[in-house]
Each structure stands twice: as C-alpha cells, then as structure tokens.
Chain A
C-alpha cells in the first residue's frame, strides 16, 4: 500500500470520527437532560476552566452583572421567610453552624455569586475553586433547594438588609 492510499484511509478515518461525533450529538437529543447545567464555556482563560466572570460570580443562570436598586422591604420579608424555611436548618446569621454564618455574605461575595451559588450549588461544588474550598472547610454540600430566580433575588435583598443591621 503506498503513501497515497494510507492518506486516503486516514481521511476516511477522520470522516468516520466526524460521523460518530455527529451521531452522538444527535443521540444526545434523546438523552435525559440535566436542567441544572448552565455552564458558560466562553472565554476560558484560567486553569480551572472558568471564565473571569464565572470566577468572580459563580456558575449558574446569572451570566452578567445585575444592577442593584434600593432594597425592597417586600422582597426582604419574602426572602426572610424563604431563609427561615429552607436555609435556617443549616445557616445561622452570626455564627458558624452546618454552613457559614450568613450576615456578612453580601460583603464576602458578589451578588451574582450569591445568586448562582443558591441556584446551582451542585455544579459550583464540582467546578468552582471557591466552592471546592468551602466544601473542604465545611465537609457538607449545600443542597439545591430549587429556588426560582425571583425567590433567590428576594433572598439577596434580605442578605443586603441584614448586612447593614449589625
């Protein structure tokens, strides 16, 4: 077999690989989808494989900076209710408990990070260096409490409010 034929075979192989990939992709349409996967694959710039935005603001549905308006007392109340029902089993405001104290969370993290972490904890634990560090310290993963974006935003206003209270 001469060089020419070998090349043709290699081209053929390449074509096969492309075909396989396409087949897998088309198959993927039928496969179950994990709705919690929001990864943003653009602008990979660092060793963790995350974009600068993701490094600062977490991985999740919030993909750009949000504009903070004045704190809405209605949302604060709603956020507090959600916190007490769905979060307070593991978080206290001023002391470490199962998870970190929450009063200063707004000072420690960007608003987008807080939202993304509440909305998409699993993926952040897997991929985000800050979340991995947190897991190392607290040894337990924060469960996904399936908040809507609106509910998470109400909690953000609650966190903003309590940050100023002490």
Chain B
C-alpha cells in the first residue's frame, strides 16, 4: 500500500514538473520572467521569436537577421558584397546592384541598419544600411528580405553618419566621415584646411514609387561627421550630426584631432533646407553617381547614372544650420523618444552632455551665439545644454532609450552599459559587457515607441567568450534583460561581420507580410519560361541562350549539344515551383562563377564561357526532393570549328 502511494505521489510530482515546464514554454513568448535566464531565452522548437534583430554586417558588407530572445541566425541579406551562396552580384539579374562610378565593386563595409518609420515608429516596410567605404545607401524590402535599391552618394567619403531617417521617412540622411576636396581635385593633402570639405546628403524616399532620390546636399566645413539621428515630435524638422576633428587635422588624427575640448553637434533644419531649395538657393554641381534598383516587373537590377546634384551652402541659407558645442570628439548622437533631448556620446569626455531642443530653439531666437564657422552660428554651450550625466563610464559612445524614461549608454573603454534617468541625469545601474561594447540596441530604442524589454550589447572584442577558432573569432553580441531595476545578462550569441549598429522590431510587424514565393504568372523576366513547353536553346552568333525550367526533379532541357569552345553561354533558369521554401540551385562543372539559387517562381541567369572540349554535367545544388540526386543534365562542348548542330532534349 505504501509503495503504491509513493509511486502515485512521485507521478504527481512528475506531472507538476511537466506543468511547470509547459507554462514556462508558454510564458516565454509573452512577458518576461523573474525566473532563470535559460527560460527567458528559450524558444521552444517550432515556435517563433518575439523580435527580429537586424545587425550590420560590418566588413562583410551584408546584414544579419536574428531572432530575439533566442539569438538564432535566420538569414544573411546580401547588400554590398557578392554572395556565391545565392548568386547575388554574380547572376546577370543582380550584378548591376554593385555598379558604381568606380566600376563594379564586390564589397563594402556596412554599419548602420535603420528601419523606415511612420510617425516616428518603425513600420516594418524597409530597412536601410550604409556602405561606408564607397559611399552608398541600400534599401532592403522586408517583404522579401532582399536588397532592392542602392544609391551612390557623390561628394562624399566614408559614408558613416548614415543612413538615419526622418520621422516619416521623408528623408534618409547621410554625411561624410572623411572630408575631401569637393569637387574632387589634385591638391596637396597638406592643403586640407583650405580645400577639404564635408557634405550632408538628404535622400528623398518617394512616398508613392518608394524610389530613393538624392534631393540635395549641404556643403559643410571639413570636420569628420560621425553619426546622426533625426528629430521627432517637436524636433521633427531637424536632424543632428556629431562631428569631430574640428581641428581639421589631416595626419595622426588620434593626437591631432583630440586637442579641442569641444567639437560640435550640427543641427540641420531640413524643412528650411527644402524651402531654400525651392527658392533656388542651391547651386548645381556636376557629380556622377549611380542608382541601382530592381525593376519591379522584370526583377532585373538596372543601373541609372546621374550627373548632377543640388548643393546648398549654409552661407546662403541663414537659419538652416547651427553648431552645438559638445565635449569631446562626440561619436553617437541620439534623440530621446519625446524628441526633446539630444544625447551626445563624447568618446573622450568625462560626462555625457544632453542638449535640450527647447533651449536650442530659445538660444537661436535670442541669438546666443559664440561666433560662427563658414556661415554656421555656434550656439553657447550653457544656452543649449540640459544636463550632464556624471560618471557615465569611460568612452561613452551610443545611447538608446526604453519606454520608462531611462537611457542606456554604451561605454567602450570601461566595457559596460550605463543606465541613467532622463531629467535627473543620474546613473541608476550599470552592467559589464564582454568586451568593449560599441553600439547597443533596444527594440525601437531610437524611435518614439521603444519596446523596453531587452538591450543588446554589440561588442567589438570577443576574446575568451566562445570556443577558440584560431586568431579569428566570431563577433560577440549579448542579450540583457532591462525589465527590472537591475539589468540582467541573459545570453551571448555570435554574429557575423563586425557588429556596428543593430535594430530590432516586434516580429508580427514583418512576418505577416513575408513573401513565400513569386507568382509565376507575374514573372516579367524576358528570359523566363512560363512552362516546360517554352524551354529551348537559341544561338545568336557566339551567344547561346538556354531557356531552362526547373521543377522537382528535373531541368528542361537536360541534354544540350552544339555548344562550342568560344561561345558565351547564358543559362536562364526559371523555377516553376509555386511552393514556399523550394528554391532550386544550378551549377555546371568548371564555371568561373557562383551557383544560381532560384526562388520559386523566379528566373536567374548565369554566364558560362566553356574553354575546353568535353561533356559537362550540371545539377541542382539545393536539395529539393527525394529525387534531387536525379536532377541533373549534360552540355556537350565541341571544338570551335565543329559542325555539331544545336540540339536539346528531355527524356529521349
């Protein structure tokens, strides 16, 4: 009897335990727990993360997509770098995305993802990211998670303070980290102070066509413009940029650009700039730049070359731009959710200065100026500063906000996140990060509506956080719970490419719009085949066009003869599938190119120049079905002088 009851009791406990687990699984996707850290980041198999996180690809030139709180990696979006995994930048349909006035460039350095906004809140339509090295801004469509437009920025070098968007994505703003001669010219580097200038660019997003257009630039003194954020609410009309190197040094900047006690936050009234543009105050500069975009109908990237840009000079445009003195070599500039406070991370400063938008407007009205530079009035520091956060950690860089009136600043040198209260400027909590944090991200943390549940530390140094992989280590992000009084470290997760900024958004804003496949009847690619009966091979001189279809589990045609050494062969492969997650791959032996990865309903083209006589197998490189190993074919390549007739077949 006793034994039975013990068993029964044990079963009861077992069941209680199961219930606890089940509830934990449920709670995970709802509100935060005060339980253990593992439960807070556990996303049960088959269930979804609460947030999408988009991270800069850094020197990979791409963008990473992760889930929060799990830290699981979902996708790498190809942006500024060729990607042989998908054929991006290799296929004939995508190559043009990487065209610039310097020719085709297979790489860049991407730093700052920024969501499109409606009324100051991320709307889940687009995410933008900068190319830092060869100045460009890319637009990624979040229906497809694909790059659909890249605009080059002329009169720019080191497109670092970019891309930050205004409250309703009226403009995407960008500015020069490196000043250069504008227009470019052959001058002595030591003539920096005389000849070098910076620019701030305003890219307009057409609300209807969603095209990016370089509307105007503002030419500014040759400082280094580092980061930016647009205003919101009361400061809607303004955008703010940090600058350093107000010393205008051109060598050994680590010493020579760190001399002044204060550099500047530049405040630009873009509404006023628009007005001056309308009044014809802009000068037209000759400036070549590309805009590459995916044609909606054909799904083929097209390059458009532009030759001129409108440039405003603050000298001609009173009231358009002011300098706010800011200690010392400020890096990040962040605007709080109310739009009132402008926080600058002075990386060499001992305090975090917070400027007040209200005080700034009053100081402008009362002309509380402390001189001017190149027609740009310098406002008095005491007249604009709202407060200083004391003891903010060493090397404060960036600030994000929660929805409870707190700000979180990353401190690079002391490797910590410092939480402080807006208004009292007092530090209320701090947490170490591992190691050397750069940017940080709170979902919606630079918008009017932060989702103050987590802060993600984007660390520059990894060292001993993971299993060692030789000298090169993965990048180290950390997830921190900010729902309680004390911040709590939950999870380390690796990211690809150097982490700069990242942005996160509730997943339901994006997943409901996600495209599952392309409708074959809407495929406007001129090389598409709309059904197997259209598949064929055509010769035009030494060009051979193979119009091929792919369907589980065969290509049509799969036997091709009559190709000759010296021919330029184009495989135009249409995936006839109409089902989610059934791409087909395509590769042929010896091709000096990447594979193709063709999404269902899409057409992709790869170029092949066979150099040797023989019979070449091709196959599907993405496992597609039980008979995937059967999905193959042959191309016969004959000598250049042969008379083998062009022939193609399937199933004979």
Contact = CB atoms under 8 A, between A and B. Distances in A.
Nearest to B4: A6
Q: In the A-B complex, list the 4 residue pairs whose CB atoms are closest, starting with the nearest.
A: A89-B551, A1-B5, A145-B578, A89-B532
B512 interface: no
A141 B532 CA distance: 18
B284 to A, nearest CB: 50
A32 to B, nearest CB: 6
A17 B18 CA distance: 10
Interface string B1-38: 11011001101100110110011011001000000000
12 contacts: A1-B5, A20-B15, A20-B19, A23-B19, A24-B22, A32-B48, A84-B533, A85-B531, A139-B626, A143-B552, A143-B577, A144-B578
A26 B19 CA distance: 13
Given A23-B22, A23-B23, A30-B29, A89 B1 contact: no
Contact of B578 (A17, A86, A141): A86
A124 B231 CA distance: 56
Interface in A1-36: 1, 5-6, 9-10, 12-13, 16-17, 19-20, 23-24, 26-27, 30-32
Contact of B8 (A9, A20, A88): A9
A90 B650 CA distance: 12
Nearest to A10: B8
Contacts of B551: 89-90, 143
A13 B625 contact: no
A1 B533 contact: no
A64 interface: no
B2 A1 contact: yes
Contacts of B5: 1, 5-6, 9
Contact of B556 (A1, A23, A24, A89): A89
Contacts of B553: 98, 140
B533 A88 contact: yes
Interface residues of B, number: 43
Interface residues of A, number: 34
Contacts of A5: 5
Interface in A76-99: 84-86, 88-90, 97-98
Contacts of B625: 140-141, 143
B47 interface: yes
Contacts of A86: 520, 531, 576, 578
Contact of B47 (A16, A30, A88, A90): A30
Contacts of A32: 46-48
Interface of B: 1-2, 4-5, 8-9, 11-12, 15-16, 18-19, 22-23, 25-26, 29, 46-48, 516-517, 520-521, 530-533, 549, 551-554, 556, 576-579, 582, 625-627, 651
A149 to B, nearest CB: 15
A88 B627 contact: no
Contacts of A40: none
A110 interface: no
A1 to B, nearest CB: 4
Nearest to A90: B551
Interface string A48-82: 00000000000000000000000000000000000
Contacts of A84: 530-531, 533
A89 B576 contact: yes
Contacts of B16: 16
B18 to A, nearest CB: 6
A139 B629 CA distance: 14
A30 B507 CA distance: 13
Given A6-B8, A26-B26, A143-B551, 19 more contacts: A5-B5, A6-B4, A12-B12, A16-B19, A27-B26, A30-B26, A30-B29, A31-B47, A32-B46, A85-B576, A88-B531, A89-B554, A140-B625, A141-B625, A143-B579, A143-B582, A144-B579, A145-B577, A145-B579
Contacts of B578: 86, 143-147
A17 B11 CA distance: 11
A32 B9 CA distance: 35
Nearest to B11: A13
Interface in A97-150: 97-98, 139-141, 143-147
Contacts of B29: 30
A141 B23 CA distance: 39
Given A13-B8, A86-B578, A141 B15 contact: no
Contacts of A140: 552-553, 625-627
Contacts of A89: 531-532, 549, 551, 554, 556, 576
B24 to A, nearest CB: 11
A99 to B, nearest CB: 11
Contacts of B576: 85-86, 89
A138 to B, nearest CB: 10
A24 to B, nearest CB: 7
A148 B29 CA distance: 33
Contacts of A24: 22
A102 B259 CA distance: 82
A86 B553 CA distance: 14
Given A9-B5, A32-B47, A146-B579, A85 B18 contact: no
A23 B521 contact: no
A106 to B, nearest CB: 21
A16 B9 contact: no
Q: Which of A19, A20, A89 has the most CB of B within 10 A?
A: A89
A5 B530 CA distance: 73
